[in-house]
Structure 1
Amino acid sequence: MVTADSIMSAFTTLLVTLDPPGLAPIFLGLTAGLTRSQRRQVALRGTLIAFLILTVFALFGAGILSILGISMGAFRIAGGLLLFWIAFEMIFQKRNERKEETSKVAITIDHIQNIAVFPLALPLIAGPGAISAMVLLAGSFAEPLDRALLIGLLLVVMGFVLGALLIAERLDRYLGMTGRALLTRLLGVLLAALSVQFVVDGVRSAFALPA
């Protein structure tokens, strides 16, 4: 049975990795020219698709790793390093620049039609970091009830993501450039610490070291 600390750690990891406040200004640029109703539809569809993608990885990610012959310890180390890189980007303001470039390319190619699927759901919400985090967390939530709890936590965090997208215009105006930069850096430091813990747990698991 998972502990309260594990639940809080999982919730924090998902919240920081998905980064609802950071998505808000990018979503505004992505949906420029759309009406409020159209923006709401894009936000709802994109969030739902991202939730389904991450749920699939939470349920079957470990099985896929097993088929490929990858141990959970090795994946924890790799995933932790990936999350640390995302944290590094957040601290030094590189992540939003990369996401904004992704969104610009998507608008050029597909314009508005499938914007909820690409790039909003994948890779802006359910990106490599979020997918890695779900697979890593699923290793600690191995029992069926624990796994259901993890998906419930994901649903709650997705509610924050959807809320941030729906109030993106107001949120962006309220935070301002300084507020967004400060919040992103604080979340990045927190994610860096969590990612290091993933690596430590992965090394212990891979080499069967005592806690």
Structure 2
Amino acid sequence: MSAELVSLFTATFVTFFVLIDALGVAPIFATLTAQGDAAYRRRMAFKSTFVATIIMFAFAFGGSWLLGAMHISIDAFRAAGGVLLFLIALDMVFEKRTERREHRAEEVLGGHKPDTELDDVSVFPIGIPMIAGPGSIATAMFYMSGATDWTEKAVVLSAIGLNLLLTLIIFLAAGPLVRLMGASVAGAMTRILGVILAALSVQLLIDGIKGAFGLG
């Protein structure tokens, strides 16, 4: 694999690792599935990651067509994606994103009784928007639109797929992992990942502006 492909894989993997934030979602997943048995938690883990994979890959493959149909340039999409990712990064640094996830979890769990049938939380809110959220969907479209050939597209898809596989593994180990990490460690990691995402988003915005105005 050439240095360019390694760089592309690394950038894509890090971006989606930060965006999906599986370690940050794990406590929410554990809360939503706490009232079920081990089989229920495994089913929700597999189904939620499967749903997120379908959504993200669909937008990854259909993104170029969608941009072309709407007459949106890659540079404009890159700049807009940078702004969107920066807003997400701010939410992560100031823990607004975690608060919204916990609020969704409370809404889903609200009124739930132990003796009632367990809800299927795999599609909403876990699959969408906790894993496949607006930021990760838009970023999948961006990276696939910027890939010049099928080799680069395969690298992008493999980086996304590896992140989704890691998400599945983390969900399967969510209970012990949450107890091991604790709330303070999970919060600190979310803030650190938010700072990294902020730097990536600013770089995307700069590249988009330079490309749009021919400054590069």
Q: Please, what TM-score do these two structures have when normalized by structure 2?
A: 0.91
Q: Deviations over 1:82-128 (max 9, x none)?
A: 11111111111111111111233334599844311111111110000
Partner of 2:206 in structure 1?
200
Compute the RMSD of aligned alpha carbons. Answer: 1.8
Superposition pairs of residues 90-101 of structure 1, within 5 angstroms: 90-101=92-103
Superposition pairs of residues 1-211 of structure 1, within 5 angstroms: 2-108=4-110, 112-210=118-216
Superposed displacement of residue 168, structure 1: 0.7
Percent of matched pairs sharing the same residue: 36
Mapped to 1, the partners of 2:108 and 2:35 lie a distance apart of 15
Mapped to 2, the partners of 1:143 and 1:109 lie a distance apart of 51
Mapped to 1, the partners of 2:197 and 2:149 lie a distance apart of 25
Q: Please, what TM-score do these two structures have when normalized by structure 1?
A: 0.93
Q: Which amino acid aligns with 1:128?
A: P
Q: Deviations over 1:30-54 (max 9, x none)?
A: 1131111101001101101101111
Q: Deviations over 1:49-93 (max 9, x none)?
A: 101111111111121011012212111111111111111111111
145-154 or 97-106: which moved more? 97-106
> What is the number of residues matched between the two proteins?
210
Q: Deviations over 1:140-182 (max 9, x none)?
A: 3231121122111111111110111111111111111111111
102-111 or 163-172: which moved more? 102-111
Unaligned runs of 5+ in 2: none
* 2:8–2:155 CA contact under 8 A, matched in 1: no
Q: Which amino acid aligns with 1:155?
A: G
Structure label with greater radius of gyration? 2
* 2:32–2:109 CA contact under 8 A, matched in 1: yes
Q: Which amino acid aligns with 1:201?
A: D
Mapped to 2, the partners of 1:107 and 1:143 lie a distance apart of 45
